[in-house]
Amino acid sequence: MGKPDPDAFPPQAVALARAGGRIGLLGGSFNPAHQAHRHISLIALRRLKLDAVWWMVSPQNPLKSTAGMASLERRLEKAREIAAHPDIHVSAPEVALGTQYTIDTIEALVATFPKAQFVWLMGGDSLASFHLWRRWKTIAKRLPIAVVARPGFTVRALASPAALYLDDARVDDADAAKLAGSRTPAWVFIRERLDPTSATALRNRGVWR
């Protein structure tokens, strides 16, 4: 199998962004990608009325250890296998953009695709630790955020420093379809059927070796 090209977005993703498409951004290590990532993406496509979701595979998450981290090529390959959907595009934009932190990647994407209506996507587990991210308040000012509930994290997520800080900016989930293109800060917490799959559990069971 040839080495995947992490330096470019899929052509259809670029065309959509340049045309002003509504695009959800789901970043992470994807070590490995799994059905919960796909579950979150499908919910976002439907509830937020998105045109596409981009899975942005990080070469190395600065908040995570390099121990047990599979190669970028292997993680991209697995992510594409799991995504298996015409509206979910997998790439490693940080390689091409020369960024490491989420805020820098977001600002580069907004500058590169000024017409795109980006929404940052995350699971409830990420919201619980969002306040640890570099310039997280600026992230909330740059893009609207959609949080999809994850098993065991709802209470912790909604009581997190970030959720409390952004409480006045929270949008009712009935209005989730209005999130893309809305004035920031704005975020929504979406409760739907939960998928318990986690990358940590898969690694602990030896599935990702």
- The pTM for the full model equals 0.88
Tell me, what CATH number does 35's domain have?
3.40.50.620
- pLDDT > 90 fraction of the chain, expressed in percent and rounded: 70
Q: Is residue 46 part of a domain?
A: yes
4 part of a folded domain: no
Taking CA atoms, 192 is separated from 43, 46, 85, 112, in Å, by 8, 12, 20, 33
pLDDT confidence tier of residue 63, bands split at 50, 70 and 90: low
pLDDT, tens digit, 9 for 90 and up, residues 13-57: 999 999 999 999 999 999 999 888 999 999 999 999 999 999 999
Q: What's the whole-number mean pLDDT along residues 91-116?
A: 93
Structural domain that includes position 148:
11-87+95-204
> What is the per-residue pLDDT across 106-131, written as a single tens digit (0 to 9) for each?
999 999 999 999 999 999 999 999 99
* 209 found inside a domain: no
